[in-house]
């Protein structure tokens, strides 16, 4: 997998330039004497390390001190060629004809084959934006970057070309769910997350527009912010009944603010045990505020789970993934669907049993999240978790009781989000009153 071009891994699109990528990995292997790991992520780290060593200079001379100067220059020339071959964007890679021409004419001078610096690291804020790229997409880039700085700017339609460009042809995969893959997008002055919706979900234009309208309404600090969207039809060569035909498919993409600390599922799995209760409580409180806002907008999320809550740089939670969300009209508390959907373990019983959708469906998912944060475990004992849990402060005890009520089998026994917010506020006021005064 370490030899496979990013565009093949990301979209399945294979061209002659995909072979050039594999050639580049082989060249770097032979020139450096270091094997490329077989898995995708380690393969990219291998290339990043080669690039880093190349930038530091004197790499070959220091690794092979006994090599004659002329041979050092040849090895450096080959590494230079290899690094150009493993460019993320296929169009930036040389053709085999260009490589052969260079070897036949200028191979003794590595400076003749110009190496263009580019960004491989998701942690880097610098990307190789050429002047031509900036010129072609300057207005769109300015509009997108202005949204990052100004939360009042409305989400806008974006071109597929721009999203393909900022994600480097959908190279850096940062998330994946039932409704598609999420890729890192790097702008000259910031980062975004681009969600490429899965065509396997048979997503209609109506469903896509419903999700956009839902996201446009969801403007809150505890809800991931939509920046833009794109839907474009393109031809794709496909095999049908033994023959190849040109079929039309619609690419549907959503562009969001980038949230750097990953999802709550991973936090519970990897980091939760090292954090104090207060950090976990702030996460619970933030999710409650985000859900309170959604319900005020008559939006039922319907897939509230740890994997659909992201954490920003300050550990503030942001609810994401509105692929299943529904609007509930004013005065309507329950709607019925013919097909149950959601995630096992977080889906409310009434949705499974009778297809009933209500705001109380989200409350059930909220209860599951609170329980996992209390137990610090994604695989807790659903029936007996609260009996064996050791709790400390009164705030933690109150959240145990809250979680238990949220996951009641009977939806009518679950609290509303208004009641939950009120209880949290009352509890915080009580704690403040009980705290001893500070003596000057």
Q: What are the pLDDT digits (tens) for 213-226?
A: 888 888 999 999 99
Based on the residue annotation, tell me whether 104 is a catalytic residue of this protein.
no
Residue 282: pLDDT over 80: yes
Owner of token pair 């191979």: 107
C-alpha span between 75 and 110 (Å, rounded)? 9
Res. 147 pLDDT band, cuts 50 70 90: confident
Phi-psi sector, 298: left (phi>0), alpha (psi -120 to 50), beta: left
Res. 435 pLDDT band, cuts 50 70 90: low
The predicted structure's pLDDT at residue 121: 35
Return the CATH number of 6-112, one of 1.10.1840.10, 1.10.510.10, 3.40.640.10, 3.40.50.720. Answer: 1.10.510.10
For 70-189, list the strands marked E by DSSP: 156-157, 173-177, 180-187
The predicted structure's pLDDT at residue 317: 98
C-alpha span between 255 and 194 (Å, rounded)? 4
Q: What are the pLDDT digits (tens) for 178-191?
A: 677 898 898 877 89
DSSP output for 337-355: -SS--S-TTTS-HHHHHH-
Q: Has 217 been labeled as part of a binding site?
A: no
The predicted structure's pLDDT at residue 117: 38
| Active-site entry in 303, 321, 381, 383 | 303
Res. 115 pLDDT band, cuts 50 70 90: very low
The predicted structure's pLDDT at residue 292: 98
The predicted structure's pLDDT at residue 283: 96
**Which CATH code for domain 264-434?**
1.10.510.10
Residue 438: pLDDT over 90: no
The predicted structure's pLDDT at residue 275: 65
Domains 131-257 and 264-434 share a fold: no
The predicted structure's pLDDT at residue 126: 33
8 Å CB contact between 363 and 416: yes
The structure tokens listed for 303 are 């897939």
Q: What are the pLDDT digits (tens) for 252-280?
A: 899 999 998 889 988 888 766 656 888 99
Residue 124: pLDDT over 70: no
Structural domain 131-257, CATH architecture: 2-Layer Sandwich (3.30)
* Closest residue by Cα to residue 316 from 283, 293, 284, 288: 283
| Beta carbons within 8 Å of 194's beta carbon, 6+ residues apart | 163, 166, 167, 170, 182, 183, 184, 185, 253, 254, 255, 256
Q: What are the pLDDT digits (tens) for 331-389?
A: 777 777 766 566 777 889 998 888 888 999 999 999 999 999 988 876 655 555 555 55
The whole-number average pLDDT for the span 413-432 is 90
Res. 127 pLDDT band, cuts 50 70 90: very low
Each domain of the chain, given as residue ranges in start order, spans 6-112, 131-257, 264-434
Supply the DSSP symbol for 263: B
Residue 90: pLDDT over 60: yes
Percent of the chain at pLDDT exceeding 70 = 73
Collapsed DSSP state (helix, strand, coil) of residue 376: coil
Weakest-pLDDT range from 10-24, 61-75, 141-155, 369-383: 61-75
The predicted structure's pLDDT at residue 125: 34
Weakest-pLDDT range from 111-125, 300-314, 417-431: 111-125
Res. 404 pLDDT band, cuts 50 70 90: very high
Q: What is the mean pLDDT of the chain?
A: 79
The whole-number average pLDDT for the span 122-131 is 41
């Amino acid at each position: 997998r370490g030899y496979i071009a990013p565009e093949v891994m990301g979209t399945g699109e294979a061209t002659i330039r995909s072979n050039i990528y594999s050639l580049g990995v082989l060249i770097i292997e032979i020139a450096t004497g270091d094997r490329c790991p077989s898995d995708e992520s380690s393969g990219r780290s291998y290339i990043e390390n080669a690039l880093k060593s190349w930038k530091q200079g004197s790499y070959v001379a220091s690794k092979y001190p006994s090599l004659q100067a002329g041979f050092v220059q040849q090895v450096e020339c080959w590494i230079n060629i290899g690094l150009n071959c493993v460019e993320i964007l296929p169009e930036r890679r040389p053709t085999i004809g260009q490589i052969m021409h260079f070897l036949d004419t200028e191979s003794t001078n590595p400076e003749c084959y110009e190496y263009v610096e580019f960004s491989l690291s998701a942690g880097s804020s610098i990307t190789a934006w050429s002047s031509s790229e900036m010129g072609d997409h300057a207005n769109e880039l300015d509009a997108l970057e202005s949204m990052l700085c100004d939360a009042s700017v409305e989400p806008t339609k974006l071109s597929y070309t721009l999203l393909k460009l900022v994600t480097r042809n959908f190279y850096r995969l940062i998330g994946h769910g039932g409704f598609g893959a999420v890729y890192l997008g790097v702008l000259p002055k910031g980062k975004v997350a681009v969600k490429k919706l899965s065509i396997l979900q048979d997503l209609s234009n109506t469903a896509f527009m419903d999700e956009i309208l839902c996201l446009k309404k969801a403007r809150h600090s505890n809800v991931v912010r939509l920046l833009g969207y794109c839907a474009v039809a393109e031809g794709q060569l496909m095999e049908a009944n033994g023959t190849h035909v040109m079929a039309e498919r619609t690419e549907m993409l959503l562009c969001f603010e980038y949230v750097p600390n990953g999802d709550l599922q991973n936090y519970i799995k990897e980091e939760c045990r090292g954090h104090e209760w207060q950090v976990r409580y702030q996460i619970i409180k933030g999710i409650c505020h985000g859900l309170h806002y959604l319900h005020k907008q008559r939006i039922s999320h319907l897939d509230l789970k740890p994997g659909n809550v992201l954490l920003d740089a300050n550990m503030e939670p942001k609810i994401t993934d509105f692929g299943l969300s529904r609007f509930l009209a004013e005065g309507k508390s329950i709607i019925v669907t013919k097909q149950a959907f959601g995630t096992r373990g977080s889906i409310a019983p009434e949705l499974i049993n009778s297809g009933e959708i209500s705001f109380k469906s989200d409350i059930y998912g909220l209860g599951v999240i609170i329980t996992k944060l209390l137990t610090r475990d994604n695989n807790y004992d659903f029936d007996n978790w609260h009996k064996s849990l050791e709790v400390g402060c009164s705030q933690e005890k109150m959240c145990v009781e809250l979680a238990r009520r949220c996951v009641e089998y009977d939806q009518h026994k679950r609290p509303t989000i208004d009641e939950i917010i009120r209880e949290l506020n009352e509890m915080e006021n009580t704690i403040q009153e009980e705290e001893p005064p500070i003596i000057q």
